[in-house]
Amino acid sequence: MTLEQYVDNINKRYKLGNATEHTFRGDLQQLIESLVPTIRATNEPKRQSCGAPDYILTKKDIPVGFIEAKDIADKDLEGAKKTGNKEQFDRYKASLNNLIITDYLDFHLYRDGQFVRKIAIAELTDKGIKPLTANFASFEDLIKDFCTHIGQTIKSSKKLAEMMAGKARLLSEVIEKALTSDETHNEDSTLKDQMNAFKKILIHDITPKGFADVYAQTIAYGMFAARSHDPSLETFSRQEAYELIPKSNPFLKKLFGYIAGLDVDDRIKWIVDDLINIFLACNVEEILKNYGKSTKMEDPIIHFYETFLSEYDPKLRKARGVWYTPAPVVNFIVRAVDDILKTEFDLPQGLADTSKTKIKVDVQGKKTEQEVHRVQILDPAAGTGTFLAEVIKLIHKKFEG
């Protein structure tokens, strides 16, 4: 299909008087695939109802760009109005790094959330839709550039966290909408099966929103952990992520077996594949090397979660108490407690003390004497176990040699 044919088709459909934004979707799909034959422009109604943009452009099954189409002469193509398209457009700009927003005549290109340029190939007049042929060559260049865009290389932990969080937020919203749709229409899906299994094994009263949040974070962070152990930087896929997840984590292994398989829900597959692109654009091992140096964390894979969660949902981070203490501070606190036990409580072995004492405890209303260890270690907010690990290291040193 040529641009002349595209505008002519749009004009004919528009003149019928009953056209909506859905009327022209097939024409735009044909136009893009004609201009760039290596690209497949997919328009899936099921995906759209769960929060996906109208078109997902893929090359060899890898997403390269996204297009959101509004009705001709849409009054908020800029996404500036709170009562218009602002919420939806802001959400897409924050999570999709190569995006076009259009009303089928005017095309706005955004990269990494920033406006790049716009081109109109036709305009609406009293006599119908008139082609702007002077812009045709520029438009073809824009579409070809859009379809061959390679995301920027990610070199900082903050940028990686921002991009992971953007995809995870969108994934969470799509999962919640998909589950709500399944419930409303009483439909079965592999996603619904996953939530029911999660309810049975882990959290019995979890809501679709809560499950969507946990599931999205698990996919994003599980993929991050897999990529951090990936020796082949040139390739990465859902299948490769599954193979890189260790068997020592059976829950994550099983989840990624589903993500990598043929049964993965098509409504979330496109976002997971787009998340893959983020990890193809970075060397996670190198980023974590610098991250560990700057944050004084001995295990950056664990502690990077704080950075990720602060970008994904700062309120959730606060609610869950995800605040990691730097390793030097943990080391100081543990050594200080060890010293106090020696000097103030007359326990020469400090935290390594194994002596016992007798105390009386209330058992079913009766005072009973029990023998207990004089030193007991309790961390009520263990998190990743940073303090407990440091205590074990200190005790181990006392027995070295």
> Over the stretch 188-224, which tens digit does the pLDDT of each residue have?
888 888 888 888 887 888 899 989 988 888 898 888 8
pLDDT computed for residue 319 by the predictor:
57
pTM value is: 0.65
The reply to whether 13 and 58 lie within a common domain is yes
pLDDT computed for residue 30 by the predictor:
94
CATH number at residue 47: 3.90.1570
The reply to whether 270 and 388 lie within a common domain is no
- The residue range of the domain holding 369 is 346-398
**Residue 339 falls within a domain, yes or no?**
no
The reply to whether 16 and 56 lie within a common domain is yes
**Residue 205 falls within a domain, yes or no?**
yes
**Residue 38 falls within a domain, yes or no?**
yes
**Cα(149)–Cα(145) distance, integer angstroms:** 6
φ, ψ for residue 54 (rounded to 5)?
-65, -40
Q: Residues near 167 by Cβ (< 8 Å), separated by ≥ 6?
A: 95, 220, 271, 274, 275, 278
pLDDT computed for residue 123 by the predictor:
93
The reply to whether 142 and 211 lie within a common domain is no
The reply to whether 86 and 185 lie within a common domain is no
Question: Would you state the torsion angle of the CA atoms of residues 160, 194, 51, 165, taken in this order, to the nearest 10 degrees?
Answer: -10
**Residue 334 falls within a domain, yes or no?**
no
The reply to whether 309 and 356 lie within a common domain is no
**Residue 329 falls within a domain, yes or no?**
no
The reply to whether 208 and 296 lie within a common domain is yes
- Fill in the amino acid letter for 242: Y
CA atoms within 13 A on the CB side of 273: 19
The reply to whether 42 and 109 lie within a common domain is yes
pLDDT in tens, 268-322: 888 888 888 888 888 888 887 766 565 555 566 666 777 787 787 777 656 555 4
Total domains present in the chain: 3
**Residue 341 falls within a domain, yes or no?**
no
**Cα(146)–Cα(121) distance, integer angstroms:** 16
The reply to whether 175 and 291 lie within a common domain is yes
**Cα(213)–Cα(252) distance, integer angstroms:** 16
**Is residue 48 exposed (0-12), middle (13-18) or buried (19+ Cβ within 10 Å)?**
middle
The reply to whether 28 and 72 lie within a common domain is yes
pLDDT computed for residue 392 by the predictor:
92
The reply to whether 235 and 173 lie within a common domain is yes
163 and 257 Cβ atoms separated by less than 8 Å: no
The reply to whether 313 and 171 lie within a common domain is yes
Last residue of a domain, one of 147, 173, 200: 147
**Residue 325 falls within a domain, yes or no?**
no
**Residue 229 falls within a domain, yes or no?**
yes
Low-confidence ranges of the chain (pLDDT < 70): 45-46, 48-50, 151-152, 290-303, 316-328, 381, 383-384, 401
Last residue of a domain, one of 147, 168, 191: 147
